[in-house]
Amino acid sequence: MATEDLADVLSEFARTMVTDFPIQGILDHLVQRIVEIMPVTGAGVTLISPGLNPRYCSASNDAALRFEKLQTDLGEGPCLAAYHAGEAISVPDLRSEERFPRFSPQALAAGMGAVFRFPLNHGDLRLGALDLYRDAPGPLSTDSMRSAQTLADVAAAYLINAQARSDLQDSSDQSRDAALHDPLTGLANRVLMLERLEHALLRRRRSEKTCAVFFVDLDRFKQVNDTYGHRMGDELLVAVAERLTGVLRPGDSLARLSGDEFVILCEDLDHPSQADTIAVRIGAEMGTPFALSRAEVSIAASIGIALTGGGNESPEDLVHGADLAMYRSKRHKRGIRHDLDVRDPHLAEHQAGLARSLRGALGRGEMRLEYEPIVDAVDGCLTGVEALLGWTHAGGAPVPPSVLMAFSEQPGHILETGRYVLEQVWQDRERWQRHRAENIAVSVNVSAYQFMAAGFADSVAAMLDRSSADPGLLTLEVSESYLDRDRDRDRVLIVLDELKELGVKLALDDFGAGHSSLSHLATIPIDEIKIDRSFIVDLGADPSSQVVVTAILQLAHGLGMTVVSEGVETAGQRRELIRLGCDFCQGSYFAQPMPASALDALIRKQAGESTPHLPSRTRVAKRGPAATDPSRSKQGDDSAAGPERPGLRT
C-alpha cells in the first residue's frame, strides 16, 4: 500500500474525529477505503464487549458480512483470537489453518482464502477487531500489515472519541431533562411550562383561538404534612399529578411549580367558557378522596384562571395572573376565579385597553389616593387612615378597585405604583402633622410582588430618612396569603424583620381568609391583625361569626397585638365588636373613603378638639370588664354606641 494512500485515509478520519458524523457512517467508509487501497477483497469491523457476544458493526460487502457473522455465530475464529490475544493474527492460507476447526471449513466453503485480524485496542481497553479478507491464499506484506494495524488503532481512537461524545450527549440530555422536570412527579417544571406557553402564544396568534392557564393550589395540604409527615405529603402530590393528568385532554400540558402548586395549559379553546367546564372537572376530581398508603385523605383545590385576550400577554403574565386569581378565590372562599373576565369579547378588548392605558397613568395624573378612617371602636376617635388607590381612566369613568388591583399587580406596574402610593401617603402624613394631627397613623397595603421585590425594605428606609415623621405612624399591611407558600416563607420573615428594624408597624390583612393563620401568628413580627370583613358582615346574626371573631381577638391580644375590624357597616356590628373587646374599626358606618383634601378639611374643621370623632361626637365609657361580659344588656350597648346613622360621606 502506498504511503500517500494511507495518509489520505488517515486525513479523512482526522477530519471526522471532532464532528457528530454518525459512527456507522464513518466505519462503513473506512472499510470501503481499505478495500480500495490494500490488496484484499473484503474488510469488516466487529465490536466485542467483555461477557457479551461479538456484534457486527460494519462490512465492505456481502461476503465480508457473512464472514463477520460466521465467527459470531460459531463463537470461534481469528477475530475472537485477535481480541483475546491483543495482537494481530495472520492466516495467509486458510486451507492449512488448524486453530479454528469449526470456522475454517465453513469459511473456505463460503469463498475465503486468507484472513488477517488486527485488534482494536486503546491502551488496556479492548474494543474488537478489524478483519481483512482475501478470496485467494497469500500473505500481506510487512508494510501492509503495519498500515492495517495503524488503521485499526485510529479506528479504536475514533470509537473511544465517539463513545465519549455519546456519553456526554446522554449526560447533557439527562441534565436538561432534570432541569425541565419536577423530580418528584416527573411533570414539567416552571421553566418547561413557560417554554410551552411561549410556543402556545405563538400558535394562538395564528389560530386566534383561546388559551387558558389554570393555577391549582391544594387546600389544607399543609395539614397533611403536619398530620402524616412529608412522605405522605409527597405521596399525595404524586397522586394529584396522576389524577390531574387523567383529566387533561390530548395536547394539554401539566406542570408542578413547587410545593402544592400545579399549572395546566389548555390550548385551542373555541370559546373562553370552555375554561369554566375544565375547571369544574378539575375541582370535582380534587374533591374525591385520595386512597394513600396509610390513610384516605380528602382535600380541595382553589383554582385561578387566566385567559388570552388582547394578544400582548407574556407567559409570565399569564401564570402570574392565574396565580393572583387563585389567591382571590382562596381569600373569598370560592373555588374558581378568573384573572380577568374575558368571556365577553367586547369586555375583553375593553380590559385589554385598560391594561395598556395603565402604563403612564401615574404620569397623566389619573391615579388618586383616598383614605378610609380607622377609629377607636368605643368612642370613634380617629386614630388612623388606610390608603386606597383609585384610577379615573382618561375616558372619565372610574375603574373599579378590583379591576385596578388585577391590572396593577402585574409585574410591569406594581413596583412603580407601589412607590407612588408610599411616597404620596407619607407626604400627606407630614402635611396632616402640620395641622395638629400628630397622632394620625397611615396604613398602606403592600402587594406580594412589591413585598418580595429586591430592595423593598431599603426603599422604605430611604423614604423615612427623608422625613422627620415618626416611622411608628406608618403601618404596612401584608396579606395573610403571603404565608401560605412554603417556598416564600423564609424570605417573607426576613423582609418583615428588616421592616421592623426601621420602626414601622406591620399589620396582617384579611386575617382569617387564608389557611396559615394560627400556625404562624406566634412566629411573625406583626403588631396588628385586621379581621376580614367576611367575618363581620354576619356578626350578631350568625353565631359562628361571633365564635371566630372572639377567638381572633383573644389570640391576638394574648400575643400583644391590636385588632382592627374591617367592613363595619352598622351600629349593631359595632356594638358586638365593642362587647367582644375589639380595639379599632373601619367601614362605611364611620365614614366612606375620602380624598386627602376632604380629610384635610375634616381635620381642620375639628381642630378645636384633640382629634376628630366618627360618626358623631358621642362619647362612651372606655371598655372594661363589662365590655366583654356576654350578660350585658343590649340596651346598655345601644346607649353606649349612640344612635345608628349613615356613615360620614364627603
pLDDT band at 407 (very low <50, low <70, confident <90, very high): low
Edge-to-edge strands, sheet with 125-134: 55-59, 42-47, 125-134, 114-122, 89-91
Is it the case that residue 15 has pLDDT exceeding 80? Answer: no
Q: Give the pLDDT of residue 627.
A: 37
CA-based torsion, 319, 325, 330, 333: positive or negative: negative
Is it the case that residue 172 has pLDDT exceeding 80? Answer: no
Q: Give the pLDDT of residue 640.
A: 35
Mean pLDDT, range 15-23, rounded to an integer: 62
For residue 625, report the phi and psi dihedrals to the nearest 5 degrees.
-55, -35
- Helices 401-408 and 411-434: crossing angle in degrees, nearest 10, is 120
Q: Please write the tens of the pLDDT for every residue from 385-397.
A: 999 888 776 666 6
Residue scoring higher pLDDT (567 or 155): 567
Is it the case that residue 615 has pLDDT exceeding 90? Answer: no
Query: Do residues 383 and 374 lie in contact, with contact meaning Cβ atoms separated by under 8 Å?
Result: yes
Mean pLDDT of the chain: 78
Q: Give the pLDDT of residue 347.
A: 40
Residue 286, C-alpha cell as written in the block: 380534587
CA–CA separation, 227 vs 547, rounded Å? 25
Is it the case that residue 643 has pLDDT exceeding 50? Answer: no
Question: Which one, of 78, 161, 150, 142, lies nearest residue 120 by Cα?
Answer: 150
Q: Give the pLDDT of residue 51.
A: 56
CA–CA separation, 607 vs 437, rounded Å? 9
Placement of cell 485488534 in the chain: 119
Mean pLDDT, range 505-525, rounded to an integer: 71
Q: Max CA-CA distance within the chain?
A: 129
CA–CA separation, 496 vs 525, rounded Å? 7
Q: Please write the tens of the pLDDT for every residue from 365-390.
A: 788 889 999 999 998 888 899 998 88
Mean pLDDT, range 290-316, rounded to an integer: 83
Instruction: State which H helix or E strand residue 321 sits in.
Output: helix 315-331
pLDDT band at 13 (very low <50, low <70, confident <90, very high): low
Placement of cell 391594561 in the chain: 355
Q: What are the boundaries of each domain within the chain?
A: 3-177, 190-355, 359-640
DSSP H helix total and E strand total for the chain:
22, 22
pLDDT band at 623 (very low <50, low <70, confident <90, very high): very low
Q: Please write the tens of the pLDDT for every residue from 81-90.
A: 777 777 888 9
Residue 244's CB is within 10 A of a number of other CB atoms, namely 22
Query: Do residues 556 and 578 lie in contact, with contact meaning Cβ atoms separated by under 8 Å?
Result: no
Residue 368's CB is within 10 A of a number of other CB atoms, namely 14
CA–CA separation, 6 vs 146, rounded Å? 11
3-state helix, strand, coil in the chain (%, to 5): 50, 20, 30
pLDDT band at 447 (very low <50, low <70, confident <90, very high): confident
Is it the case that residue 641 has pLDDT exceeding 50? Answer: no
Residue scoring higher pLDDT (562 or 10): 562
pLDDT band at 650 (very low <50, low <70, confident <90, very high): very low
Q: Give the pLDDT of residue 636.
A: 34
> CA 197, 407, 649: angle at the middle one, nearest 5?
160
Mean pLDDT, range 534-545, rounded to an integer: 81
228 burial (CB, 10 Å; 0-12 / 13-18 / 19+) is: middle
Mean pLDDT, range 632-640, rounded to an integer: 34
Query: Do residues 614 and 648 lie in contact, with contact meaning Cβ atoms separated by under 8 Å?
Result: yes
Q: Please write the tens of the pLDDT for every residue from 196-214.
A: 998 888 888 777 788 899 9
Is it the case that residue 278 has pLDDT exceeding 60? Answer: yes
**Per CATH, domain 190-355 is 3.40.50.720:** no
**603: Cβ–Cβ under 8 A, 6 or more apart, which residues?**
432, 435, 436, 437, 440, 612
pLDDT band at 642 (very low <50, low <70, confident <90, very high): very low
Query: C-alpha dihedral over 302, 291, 257, 270, to 10 degrees?
Result: -60
pLDDT band at 229 (very low <50, low <70, confident <90, very high): confident
Q: Please write the tens of the pLDDT for every residue from 467-509.
A: 888 899 999 998 766 665 555 667 888 899 999 999 999 999 8
Write out 613-626 in H/E/C secondary structure: ECCCCCCCCCCCHH
Write out 432-450 in H/E/C secondary structure: HHHCCCCCCEEEEECCHHH
Question: Which CATH number fits the domain 359-640, given the four candidates 3.40.50.150, 1.50.10.100, 3.20.20.450, 3.90.1280.10?
Answer: 3.20.20.450
421 burial (CB, 10 Å; 0-12 / 13-18 / 19+) is: buried
Query: Do residues 556 and 563 lie in contact, with contact meaning Cβ atoms separated by under 8 Å?
Result: yes
Mean pLDDT, range 314-328, rounded to an integer: 84
Q: Please write the tens of the pLDDT for every residue from 330-365.
A: 765 545 545 544 333 334 445 555 666 676 777 777
Q: Please write the tens of the pLDDT for every residue from 60-99.
A: 888 888 888 887 788 787 777 777 777 888 999 989 888 8
Q: Give the pLDDT of residue 263.
A: 95
Report for 17-26, 220-229, 554-563: range of highest mean pLDDT:
554-563
Instruction: State which H helix or E strand residue 306 sits in.
Output: strand 300-307
Return the CATH fold of 3-177: Beta-Lactamase (3.30.450)
Q: Give the pLDDT of residue 170.
A: 59
Query: Do residues 537 and 512 lie in contact, with contact meaning Cβ atoms separated by under 8 Å?
Result: no
Q: Give the pLDDT of residue 33.
A: 86
Q: Please write the tens of the pLDDT for every residue from 134-169.
A: 999 999 988 888 888 888 888 888 777 776 666 666
CA-based torsion, 227, 231, 232, 233: positive or negative: positive
Is it the case that residue 631 has pLDDT exceeding 50? Answer: no
Question: Which one, of 636, 518, 644, lies nearest residue 573 by Cα?
Answer: 644
Instruction: State which H helix or E strand residue 116 sits in.
Output: strand 114-122
Least trusted range by pLDDT, from 397-401, 491-495, 601-605: 397-401
Q: Give the pLDDT of residue 1.
A: 52
Exposed e or buried b per residue across 165-188, where buried means at least 16 C-beta atoms within 10 angstroms of its C-beta: eeeeeeeeeeeeeeeebbeebebb
Q: Give the pLDDT of residue 343.
A: 37
Residue 548, C-alpha cell as written in the block: 371566630
pLDDT band at 607 (very low <50, low <70, confident <90, very high): low
Q: Give the pLDDT of residue 87.
A: 82
Residue scoring higher pLDDT (544 or 344): 544
Terminal alpha carbon distance of the chain: 106
Residue 251, C-alpha cell as written in the block: 395536547
CA–CA separation, 424 vs 575, rounded Å? 35
Q: Please write the tens of the pLDDT for every residue from 101-147.
A: 888 899 898 889 999 989 888 777 778 888 899 999 999 988 888 88
Question: Which one, of 32, 38, 4, 276, lies nearest residue 138 by Cα?
Answer: 38
pLDDT band at 458 (very low <50, low <70, confident <90, very high): very high
Q: Are strands 505-511 and 290-291 parallel, antiparallel or unpaired?
A: unpaired
Exposed e or buried b per residue across 22-57, where buried means at least 16 C-beta atoms within 10 angstroms of its C-beta: ebeebbbbbbebbbebbebbbbbbbbbeeeeebebb
Write out 170-184 in H/E/C secondary structure: HHHHHHHHHHHECCC
Percent of the chain past pLDDT 70, that is, above it, reads 76
pLDDT band at 568 (very low <50, low <70, confident <90, very high): very high
Q: Give the pLDDT of residue 387.
A: 93
